[in-house]
Amino acid sequence: MRDMSRIRTALVDPDVRFFAALGDPTRLAIVRELAGADSVCACDFSTCCDVRQPTVSHHLRVLREAGVIESERRGTSIYYRLAPGAADRLRAFAGEIAGSGQMIPASSLRRGTISAPTASA
């Protein structure tokens, strides 16, 4: 029998979705490609990822839904870029597990605005 609370947590917790999106080798290659550019056309990812376009589109959707990337339509093409708060979110998590006490509330990340990190007691 499956643990339903674990499944619900995975569906609700934005950190779980964020890190699950980064946990796939193809999606991580996409993020690395975006890290070195202002924006990249969806049609250009198949060369860095060694997968076909429909698979790239699936991975881009997962990353977008997790808040890792953003998209913008320009004519008939869609361009992707890292979400402005993605790097801050990774830094905050690293600080949290390193014991620095800085944490960005997930609620502020969902709205796309990042408030000042809070110190834990």
Q: In the sheet that 77-82 helps form, which strands lie side by side, from edge to edge?
A: 40-41, 77-82, 69-74
Q: Are strands 77-82 and 40-41 parallel, antiparallel or unpaired?
A: antiparallel
Q: Is residue 64 part of a domain?
A: yes
Could you tell me the residue range of the domain that residue 32 belongs to?
4-82
Using the predicted structure, report yes or no on whether residue 19 has a pLDDT greater than 70: yes
Residue 36, domain CATH: 1.10.10.10
Residues 37, 55 share a domain = yes
pLDDT given at position 118: 47
Residues 77, 26 share a domain = yes
Least confident of 60-64, 75-79, 82-86, 117-121: 117-121
Residues 75, 30 share a domain = yes
Residues 50, 106 share a domain = no
Q: Are strands 102-103 and 69-74 parallel, antiparallel or unpaired?
A: unpaired
Domain total for the chain?
2
What b-and-e string marks burial along 58-89, b requiring 16 or more CB atoms within 10 Å of the CB? ebbebbeebbbbbeeeeeeebbbbbbebbeeb
Residues 70, 95 share a domain = no
Residues 33, 10 share a domain = yes
Of residues 9 and 63, which shows the higher confidence score?
63
Between CA 15 and CA 96 the distance in angstroms is: 12
Averaged pLDDT of the chain: 80
Taking the whole predicted model, whether its pTM rises above 0.85 is answered as no
**Those residues with Cβ within 8 angstroms of residue 69's Cβ, 6 or more apart along the chain or in another chain:** 30, 31, 34, 60, 63, 80, 81, 82, 83, 86
Provide the pLDDT confidence category of residue 97 given band limits of 50, 70 and 90: confident
72 forms beta bridges with 79
Between CA 75 and CA 118 the distance in angstroms is: 41
At 24-79, the pLDDT tens digits run: 999 999 999 999 899 999 988 877 888 888 899 999 999 999 999 999 999 999 99
